[in-house]
Structure 1
Amino acid sequence: MWTPNDGNSIEERGRVNNGSDLVVMDERAIAAAMPVPNVATLNVTKSSKVHIGPKFVSVTQNVQNAEMVKAPHEWNITREMWLAQPFNSTDINEKFDPLMLVVVQHTVSGECTKFAQCAAELRTMQGWYIALHDYDIPYNFLIGNDGRVYEGRGWNKEGAHTFGYNRCSVGIGFVGDYRGERPHHSQVTESQLNRTRMLLEDGVRMGYLRPDFLIVGAKDIQDTASPGSNLLHALYLFDNYDHKHRFRGLNCTQIQEKFGDQPLRGV
Structure 2
Amino acid sequence: SISNIKWNFSLSRCVLNNITLTNMKSSISFIATILICCAMCETPPSIVLCPSVVSRDEWNANAATETNFLELPVKIVIICHTVTPECTTLQACMRRVKSIQNYHQKEKHWGDIAYNFLIGNDGRVYEGIGWDKVGRHTKQFNEVSIGIAFIGNFSAKLPSKAALDAAKNLLQCGCAEGHLDANYTLFGARDVSNTESPGANLNQEIQNWPHWMTMEQGQIIIPRK
TM-score by length of 1: 0.61
User: Which residue, out of 134, 137, 142, partners 1:161?
Assistant: 137
Identity of aligned residues (%): 33
Identify the structure with the greater strand proportion: 2
Residue 91 (structure 1) shift: 0.7
Cα distance in structure 2, aligned partners of 1:133 and 1:89 = 16
CA contact (8 A) 1:139 1:152 kept: yes
Q: Please name the residue that 1:81 is paired with.
A: 58
Structure 1 position 220 matched with structure 2 position 191: yes
* CA distances 1:94-137 after superposition (whole Å, capped 9, x unpaired): 3xx31111001110001100000000011111111111222211
Cα distance in structure 1, aligned partners of 2:59 and 2:124 = 12
Structure 1 position 237 matched with structure 2 position 212: no
Q: Please name the residue that 2:69 is paired with.
A: 91
CA contact (8 A) 2:77 2:147 kept: yes
Q: Please name the residue that 1:103 is paired with.
A: 78
Provide closer, same or farther for how the CA distance between residues 245 and 143 of structure 1 changes in structure 2, counting only shifts above 3 A: farther
Provide closer, same or farther for how the CA distance between residues 109 and 228 of structure 1 changes in structure 2, counting only shifts above 3 A: same
> Which residue identity is paired with 1:220?
D
CA contact (8 A) 2:192 2:215 kept: no
CA contact (8 A) 1:221 1:247 kept: no
Of stretches 144-153 and 202-211 in structure 1, the one that deviates more from structure 2 is: 202-211
CA contact (8 A) 1:220 1:245 kept: no
CA contact (8 A) 1:188 1:230 kept: no
The structure with the largest alpha-carbon Rg is 1
Structure 1 position 204 matched with structure 2 position 181: no
Number of residues paired by the alignment? Answer: 173
CA contact (8 A) 2:79 2:188 kept: yes
Cα distance in structure 1, aligned partners of 2:193 and 2:218 = 10
Cα distance in structure 2, aligned partners of 1:244 and 1:152 = 26
Residue 187 (structure 1) shift: 2.6
User: Which residue, out of 179, 192, 216, partners 2:163?
Assistant: 192
Structure 1 position 172 matched with structure 2 position 172: no
Cα distance in structure 1, aligned partners of 2:83 and 2:216 = 24
User: Which residue, out of 112, 127, 132, partners 2:102?
Assistant: 127
Residue 245 (structure 1) shift: 4.0
Residue 169 (structure 1) shift: 0.3
TM-score by length of 2: 0.72
User: Which residue, out of 127, 143, 155, partners 2:119?
Assistant: 143
Cα-Cα RMSD? 2.0
Residue 89 (structure 1) shift: 1.9
